[in-house]
């Protein structure tokens, strides 16, 4: 945090609200916001892609969507998908309070149901939802990106260990990553330790 000199502090209050909500609602609540130390990643990716459209699957309380929108600047729009109606409502309220509602659209429903309906191309995609759905996303990842677009995929820990080592869905992650790495439309790197993947559309 000291090295970033405050650049990882953006929307930190929203990150804290996300954790408070999860603790209040118990272990059945799946609202796990991204680590604030990942916030500068979105600034780098937005700069690399000259992002004007971003898509997130897995909104939660809206923390990462807010970070992405801020990283992209005033001319960038973020669409974010959230399956949990209560979480979508919380995110909508939080984004309105931060004057970000005009730059972020919350799409209610599951990723596997909404991705086929989306149109146009996105410069940046962030998959941070139910990893068991990931294999179904691949055809839409091609359709919704352009050469130079970047896809960041989170929640790979059930396959590799760490916080999700005991969770179900390992075969789905293995299938998704294997297909993504071998897909000629993408160049993919799996980040050890954090267990994210970063893919560039070619």
Question: Which pLDDT belongs to residue 45?
Answer: 98
Of residues 92, 85, 29, 32, the one with CA closest to residue 66 = 92
pLDDT in tens, 121-149: 999 999 999 999 999 999 999 999 999 99
Residue carrying the six token digits 């600034």 = 43
Q: Tell me: the pLDDT tens digits for 138-193?
A: 999 999 999 999 999 999 988 988 777 778 899 999 999 999 999 999 999 999 88
Give me the pLDDT at residue 30, please: 86
Cα 117 from Cα 5, distance rounded (Å): 41
pTM across the whole model: 0.95
Residues 6+ apart with CB under 8 A from 46: 54, 68, 71, 72, 73, 76, 123, 124
């Amino acid at each position: 945090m000291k090295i970033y000199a405050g650049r990882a502090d953006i929307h930190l209050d929203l990150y804290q609200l996300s954790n408070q909500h999860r603790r209040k609602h118990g272990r059945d609540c799946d609202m796990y916001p991204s680590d604030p130390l990942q916030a500068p990643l979105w600034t780098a990716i937005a700069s690399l892609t000259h992002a004007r459209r971003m898509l997130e699957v897995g909104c939660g309380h809206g923390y990462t969507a807010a970070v992405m929108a801020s990283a992209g600047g005033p001319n960038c729009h973020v669409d974010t998908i959230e399956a949990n109606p209560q979480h979508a409502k919380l995110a909508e309220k939080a984004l309105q309070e931060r004057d970000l509602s005009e730059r972020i659209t919350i799409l209610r429903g599951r990723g596997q149901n909404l991705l086929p309906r989306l149109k146009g191309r996105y410069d940046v995609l962030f998959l941070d939802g139910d990893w068991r759905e990931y294999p179904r996303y691949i055809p839409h990842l091609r359709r919704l990106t352009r050469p130079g677009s970047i896809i960041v995929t989170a929640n790979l820990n059930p396959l590799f260990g760490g916080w999700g080592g005991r969770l179900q869905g390992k075969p789905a992650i293995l299938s998704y990553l294997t297909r993504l790495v071998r897909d000629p439309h993408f160049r993919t790197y799996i980040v050890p330790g954090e267990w994210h993947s970063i893919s560039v559309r070619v």
